[in-house]
Chains A and B, each alone.
Chain A
Amino acid sequence: MSSHKIRVQAENFDAAAEGAALTRGRRDVGALVSFIGLCRDEAGTLEALELEHYPGMAEEEIARMVGEAERRWPLLGVTVIHRHGRILPGEQIVLVLCASAHRAAAFAAAEYLMDFLKSRAPFWKKEHRADGGQGDWVAAKDADEAALARWGER
């Protein structure tokens, strides 16, 4: 049976500890896929990202996505942690862990969850620039929206 943990928090997370917690005491997990999204500064211009979220809906929407992933694949455990607030380049933003008996389901579910977190979880990123200039909201990418289409939902 699958267990899942969903957290929306300002604090950082320990991916290794979360992975250990997900598999502790279990003998049936054969695959644990971990995805960590980091705050990236491509051109030396980013001071920090400010992540705004919709409290309540963020947790509910992630729970809905996890439930759909559990319906589609034989998962044994899922952990999703998404941070909000001010995040510096190099820091962690999001963690997705998917445990299953075999790797195919764990890989697919992790990719599915990330695709939906990008475009359906109510989070918005604002850039604060290193030169002190007025930052801008990060624009949604058409590619992220297109990525949803392959899962055949919405």
Chain B
Amino acid sequence: MRLVYFASLRERIGKSVEEVDVPGSVRTVAELIDWLGARDEAYAATFADGLARTAVDKKHARREASIVGASEVAFFPPMTGG
């Protein structure tokens, strides 16, 4: 699975993209965030405030959304377009 990061999250994680092998037991966005945080404290710290927004295969997704079969999950701060 490809993980992509934008804006302040990209800067905090220190990369814009990475490939990860996510275990089959990790089935939702929330579980993915927990799994990433358990692997690496820097991720846990980045996601600790609960403000990160997520997209699964380029569609906005909430924490309970499924990531099963997804090819790309994105993490980013609240958007400031327009």
B58 within 8 A of A: yes
Residue in A56, A118, A124 whose CB lies within 8 Å of B6: A124
Cα(A60)–Cα(B7), bound, Å? 19
* B window 50-79: CB within 8 A of A: 55, 58-60, 74, 76-79
Query: What is the 8 Å Cβ interface bit string for chain A, positions 70-99, against chain B (1 contact, 0 not)?
Result: 000000000000100000000001100000
State the CA gap A27–B39 with chains docked (Å): 62
A112 contact set on B, CB distance < 8 A: none
Count class of interface residues, chain B: 10 to 19
Min Cβ gap B1→A in Å is 16
| Overall SS of chain A's interface | mixed
Distance A93 CA – B81 CA, assembled complex (angstroms): 9
Q: Does B80 contact A (CB under 8 A)?
A: yes
Determine whether the beta carbon of A122 is less than 8 Å from that of B79. yes
Which B17-66 residues have C-beta < 8 A from chain A? 55, 58-60
**Given contact pairs A37-B82, A118-B82, A137 touches B77 in the complex (Cβ within 8 A):** yes
Contacts from A to B (Cβ < 8 Å): 37, 52-54, 56-57, 60-61, 82, 93-94, 114, 117-126, 137-140, 145
- Supply 5 A–B pairs (Cβ within 8 Å), ascending by A: A94-B82, A118-B82, A124-B8, A124-B80, A140-B80
